[in-house]
A and B are shown apart, each in its own frame.
Chain A
Amino acid sequence: LAKTTQPISMDSYEGQEVNITCSHNNIATNDYITWYQQFPSQGPRFIIQGYKTKVTNEVASLFIPADRKSSTLSLPRVSLSDTAVYYCLVVNPGAGSYQLTFGKGTKLSVIP
């Protein structure tokens, strides 16, 4: 399983764009990158996933450089409700174990 490293915490003001970068230097060829969000007292919620280049959905964008050794989750114009822990995960679809390994995550605090 590829290990991921991301900042423990980040602060941002409302309305700003927030970029959270995750390092995964030993990512394997078939691995893909997925991000989850967890609000206090709730279960994690899927945000976005991708394999390479850029993926965008209604919630966020995910940027993955060509070497795929890192990825950046971009949250446009954050609001107070985006305060949560954000987890970066690297998943091997061929592992057969359906296993998600969560790290410590990045605790994002949005300030008014």
Chain B
Amino acid sequence: DTAVSQTPKYLVTQMGNDKSIKCEQNLGHDTMYWYKQDSKKFLKIMFSYNNKELIINETVPNRFSPKSPDKAHLNLHINSLELGDSAVYFCASSRRTSGGQETQYFGPGTRLLVL
């Protein structure tokens, strides 16, 4: 059983299109995230949701809109795709221990290529 899954694994599309990436976790975690890893391999957080509520929204263009229908799902919708959006997008989930520490579990990534 895959703990954190993402679909699709690969996404090739034209500039200006709208696309969505889906993420599901079966770990029972309360918090989910979206990260972007660019061509230079920098991994940067985009969004974080806790119990379906947005708690982090880094400086991400408003063309990116996360949607969390329930605690187990966090989807990412991207409008008007641009060349610079080409990257690998990782979903992750976590649960905090009583001591405040947490471990994040990452999905396999979605490789987005905008032409």
Instruction: List A residues at the B interface (Cβ < 8 Å).
Output: 30, 32, 34, 36, 38, 41-46, 49, 85, 87, 91, 93-94, 96-102, 104-105
Contact = CB atoms under 8 A, between A and B. Distances in A.
Q: Please list the 4 inter-chain residue pairs (A to B) with the smallest Cβ-Cβ separation, ordered nearest first.
A: A43-B106, A93-B100, A102-B43, A46-B103
Nearest to A97: B56
B28 to A, nearest CB: 16
Given A43-B90, A44-B106, A46-B105, A98 B55 contact: yes
B109 A42 contact: yes
B44 to A, nearest CB: 7
A99 B41 contact: no
Contact of B50 (A45, A98, A104): A98
Chain B, interface SS category: strand
A43 B92 contact: yes
A44 B103 CA distance: 11
Given A42-B108, A43-B109, A93-B96, A102 B44 contact: yes
A53 B36 CA distance: 33
A96 B55 CA distance: 9
B99 A101 contact: no
Contacts, number: 62
Given A44-B43, A102-B42, A102-B44, A97 B101 contact: no
Given A42-B109, A43-B107, A45-B106, A98 B101 contact: no
Interface string B79-96: 000000000001010101
A92 B55 CA distance: 15
Contacts of B55: 96-98
Given A42-B108, A43-B108, A98-B48, A49 B56 contact: no
A46 to B, nearest CB: 5
